[in-house]
A and B are shown apart, each in its own frame.
Chain A
């Protein structure tokens, strides 16, 4: 189960002078219930990849399976894929259109055929998950702050109760507090409901903190996969692909240069690094 991508390639505008190979022979597996981060510089094919998973693009070659639905270049209808997958694109607040927050959140679930009391419950649930209080329900989504609009948009996706949640840079343009709160809420949902989450991000720190597995994309290919510790031990390669280490790991790497290899490689978050430094300081020998 989960998501299996096999030999997936995608070419935009094939057969014209504007032809562009966006994905080249990508193999990838996402375990059901895991939290996966996809990293890559701009134009690496991340967005194209998640559009396939979300059932919005048809593979040029190759296939992918999401739970019990398989899609390849011959598949006529992609809609069955979308049953499993909810996706919030970059700046999802740009898709809001209804008069009130509640109506906008209800759009997705009502397209699924949910009506009446259950629909109202879904809307309430969606708002609660992203931390919007009841008072927002009857307000116009166009008169909210950027961060609130983002939450409304993500609530609209969550209210569909997807098995897989795909987030394309959900924190872009939010202030640090908003970024942190949003991801914490998503992470909590992932843990409580064992919802599969695919996070596309430019933030190494976000990937290091939340992901079980990281996939790195570069120029349309999947070039590296593994746990955060494995991926972030490949500093030279990451830099070559236009990425870097998370801040804490960067500091760890500098300390390793100074203090020798006794500094472990798995200090990816500020908390882990702080704990290590504190313990080391506690156990130091007085000169």
Chain B
């Protein structure tokens, strides 16, 4: 399987939807609050509300559902694993099935269901953020959100720069990995058979060249940045200015409504 044929989980999909046009700061704050309030949900009604909100988000993003489902594939394994643990080890309620020392009980099954759902909601909303926000917008938003904390010593600009460089180089290193794997395969490397140890060992010819090239790239990048006069965040102006519009106001009102709705519904 070629790395180029599988999009990375949550890779930015260019578009012009309402979600794409929202200010990145709004999206980041919204998603972070959302991730906290997911834990307020405790019954069918509250989970129903969250599913509805997430579903509307997916619909508004204009990202094909197929792409989101495909991105979720690796996450499903994790969800199944945690669900399995809950089914087996959370006790309480009626015993539904018992196999020797293992019992599957009512509460375990319920817990497994809720936890999986919560997990799924968290991942999908997180993905919506990265699917609809380019990495430049994302780091710009982060930097602006963190800048009030500069006074207490948070290096907002440096953190944002580190983040944007890492994000920028994910696809590059991904392609590089693909290229090196192909080159070693062409030299008869076998990554698929043998014991775990053997298979891990077979990746050494991939990892060493990858590290060498990552260091080379880092050095070149540092040189190129210096050559273009980079000297840290102090006094640096910006090309793109972020600005809130009425869309962002709507988003925050919506968020408030969701929180109030959750608080009301959880006691129903």
10 more A-B contacts (CB under 8 A) besides A17-B13, A55-B186, A82-B186?
A: A12-B4, A13-B4, A13-B6, A18-B7, A79-B190, A94-B180, A94-B212, A95-B209, A96-B209, A97-B208
Q: Evaluate contact between A14 and B5: CB separation under 8 angstroms.
A: yes
Structural contact, B205 and A82, CB atoms closer than 8 A: no
Interchain CB contact (< 8 A) of A160 among B6, B13, B64, B188 = B188
> B8-55: which residues lie under 8 A (CB-CB) from chain A?
13-14
Give me the interface of B with A, judged by CB distance under 8 Å.
2, 4-7, 13-14, 64, 66-67, 70, 176, 179-180, 182-190, 204-205, 208-209, 212-213
The range of chain A's interface size is 20 to 34
Contacts of A87 in B (CB 8 A): 183, 186
A220 CB within 8 Å of chain B: no
With A12-B2, A15-B66 in contact, is A95–B183 under 8 Å at CB? yes
Assess whether B185 is in contact with A97, with CB atoms less than 8 Å apart. no
Which 8 A/B pairs are nearest by Cβ-Cβ distance?
A: A111-B188, A97-B208, A108-B187, A95-B183, A87-B186, A56-B182, A97-B205, A97-B209
Given contacts A12-B5, A16-B7, A16-B67, whether A107 and B186 have CB atoms under 8 Å apart is no
Query: How far is A57 from B184 in the complex, measured between Cα atoms in Å?
Result: 14
Q: Are B189 and A111 in contact (CB under 8 A)?
A: yes
Supply 5 A–B pairs (Cβ within 8 Å), ascending by A.
A15-B66, A55-B186, A92-B183, A95-B209, A111-B187
Instruction: Evaluate contact between A89 and B5: CB separation under 8 angstroms.
Output: no
List residues of chain A with CB within 8 A of the CB of B14: 17
Nearest CB on B from A68, distance (A): 18
Residues of B within 8 A of A111 (CB): 187-190
- Residue from A13, A85, A95, A97 within 8 A of B7 (CB atoms): A13
Cβ of A240 within 8 Å of any chain B Cβ, yes or no, is no
Chain A 52-75 interface residues, beta-carbon cutoff 8 Å to B: 54-57
Given A13-B6, A15-B66: A82 and B184 within 8 A (CB)?
A: no
Contacts of A142 in B (CB 8 A): 212
* CB pair B209 A94 closer than 8 Å: yes
Bound complex: CA of A56 vs CA of B179, how far in Å? 10
When the two chains form their complex, are residues B205 and A160 in contact, meaning their CB atoms are under 8 A apart? no
Find residues 92-132 in chain A having any chain B CB closer than 8 Å to their own CB: 92, 94-97, 107-108, 111-112
- Whether the Cβ atoms of B183 and A82 lie closer than 8 Å is no
Chain B, Cβ-Cβ closest to A157: B187
B182 touches A82 (CB 8 A): no
Q: Given the complex of chains A and B, what is the CA–CA distance between A33 and B152 in angstroms?
A: 71
Write out the residue numbers on chain B whose beta carbons fall within 8 Å of the beta carbon of A18.
7
Check: A228 CB closer than 8 A to any chain B CB. no
Per-residue contact bits, chain A 1-31, to B (CB 8 Å; 1 contact, 0 not): 0000000000011111110000000000000
